[in-house]
Amino acid sequence: MTQTKIVNVAAGVLMRPDGHVLLAQRPAGKPYEGWWEFPGGKFEPGENAEVAVTRELEEELGIRVLASSPWVVREHVYEHAHVRLFFRRITAWEGEPRGREGQQLAWCALDTVNLDPLLPASVDLIRWLQLSPVYVISDAAGQGIDTWLARLSSWLEGGHAIPASAAASSRAAPAVPGVGASARAVSVAAVGRDVSVDAEAERDAPASAGADAGESAVIRWASRSLPRLLLLREPDLPADAFSHLLTETLARLEGHDVRVLVSSRHPEQAARLAAERTRGGLHLTGADLRALSRSGGDVQNEMQASACGWAGQKNLQILRSEYPLIAASCHSVEDLQRAGLLQLDLAVYGPVLPTRSHPGSAGLGWAAFAQMLAAAPIPVYALGGMLPAHLPNALQAGAQGVAMQRGVW
């Protein structure tokens, strides 16, 4: 039996600072004529994803990409081909996109993408683009429940995924070695609309200033406009204390657009309540993730059952029907692939940097983290020692954003 050849394809997710993304309609004469997709095309010999997407977008849209970062890698089997799609986020470019092959283009707000039909490989990405760049983690046991709840209220009143006080106090993070694209200075028009770049100062700015402005503008929009993500994970709290924490947290969230996920180390009812009240859901421990991937949720023996919690013993299809969001803690590339095969919504991976909870560990470092994410099939958040200033590093490395605990509270 002959094995189907996998075709590598690079696709660009052009992101404007107002939260719109560009979709293109496949032109006449091509498979899936008339369907909508993120623009891009096949690798040519010797190309990587960054080079391929730059060339393809120039050929298809007439723009010159100035800043792109890796994101997710998806495989899809169509009737005509088995494709491996390398999606890259594009935040700075020269020129106005136009359909050079006669294809229609559409700038779409993320919450109102109503183009039909949409290529199957692009459907999940529309949902993922609506995930906040910051995934915050509770710290009630470390700070005391009352103190943490007060800080939660302050965070909610700020209306932003990153507290202004935390962002202002953070040092600038160093660039990720060997990750991301270099870019020359560009005009404000090249990175979309409101990028908060002073035109006069821009003339004397360093080479990457325009690209940095484009990325920063997208981050600001996403942190301000997308639903915020909060993980309740308190392994050191007794059950009654956690129940009280959950009740008080949900009460404070009334009127705020925050999606709460509950760690699977806590009771099932807590995760269900978070899903019902906030459109949030469940965050799987590593043990539960591995149990689900081995058995599809039908635990086969007592030894396997003892290694995981209640979530690892559930049927995966039931979990998907009950929880709008399902996340997982990953500790290896294999874990990331498991999360992708289970079609989870997001994952955290780390520790990237040294943490207070693991003082003897240096962490992966940004270069190793980027390598781990090179074929990540779902959005991944950098975990471990994260501060708001590390968000650009995480994006350059291919992450969805950062998962923070002490860096927020």
Tens of pLDDT, residue by residue over 285-309, are: 999 999 998 865 444 444 455 568 9
Is the domain of 240 the same as that of 383?
A: yes
**Tally of domains within the chain:** 2
Give the Å distances, CA to CA, from 393 to 177, 215, 290, 357, 365: 10, 11, 29, 22, 11
Is the domain of 250 the same as that of 388?
A: yes
Domain end: 65, 94, 128, which one? 128
Asked if residue 196 belongs to a domain, the reply is: no
DSSP assignment of 326-355 = EEEEE-SHHHHHHHHHTT-SEEEE---S-B
Contact 259, 228 (CB under 8 A): yes
Nearest-angstrom CA–CA distance, 221 and 161: 10
pLDDT of residue 2: 54
pLDDT of residue 357: 76
Is the domain of 175 the same as that of 92?
A: no
Give, for 142, the enclosing helix (H) or strand (E).
Answer: helix 140-143
pLDDT of residue 96: 97
Domain end: 128, 146, 164, which one? 128
Burial group, residue 108, by CB count within 10 angstroms (0-12, 13-18, 19+): middle
Give the Å distances, CA to CA, from 61 to 55, 214, 408: 10, 19, 40
Is the domain of 357 the same as that of 391?
A: yes
We report the CATH number of the domain holding residue 377 as 3.20.20.70
Is the domain of 214 the same as that of 250?
A: yes
Cα 207 versus chain centre, distance: 27
Asked if residue 186 belongs to a domain, the reply is: no
Is the domain of 172 the same as that of 111?
A: no
Is the domain of 97 the same as that of 216?
A: no
Is the domain of 158 the same as that of 84?
A: no
Q: Is the dihedral of CA 179, 341, 382, 225 positive or negative?
A: positive
Cis peptide before 235 (omega within 30 of 0): no
Contact 36, 106 (CB under 8 A): yes
Q: At what angle do helices 268-278 and 239-252 cross, to 10 degrees?
A: 0
pLDDT of residue 162: 86
Asked if residue 292 belongs to a domain, the reply is: yes
Is the domain of 332 the same as that of 359?
A: yes
pLDDT of residue 182: 34
pLDDT of residue 359: 73
Q: Which domain holds residue 280?
A: 134-179+207-404
Is the domain of 366 the same as that of 241?
A: yes
Asked if residue 193 belongs to a domain, the reply is: no
Walk across the sheet containing 36-37 and list its strands: 36-37, 20-25, 105-109
The ranges of the chain with pLDDT < 50 are 1, 168-172, 176-207, 297-303
Asked if residue 318 belongs to a domain, the reply is: yes
Asked if residue 397 belongs to a domain, the reply is: yes
Is the domain of 153 the same as that of 108?
A: no
Nearest-angstrom CA–CA distance, 301 and 347: 27
Digit-coded pLDDT (tens) for 20-69: 999 999 988 888 899 999 999 999 999 999 999 999 999 999 999 999 99
Phi, psi of 61 (to 5 degrees): -115, -10
Asked if residue 378 belongs to a domain, the reply is: yes
Q: Are strands 105-109 and 20-25 parallel, antiparallel or unpaired?
A: antiparallel
Domain end: 69, 102, 128, which one? 128
Asked if residue 189 belongs to a domain, the reply is: no
Is the domain of 307 the same as that of 167?
A: yes
We report the CATH number of the domain holding residue 59 as 3.90.79.10
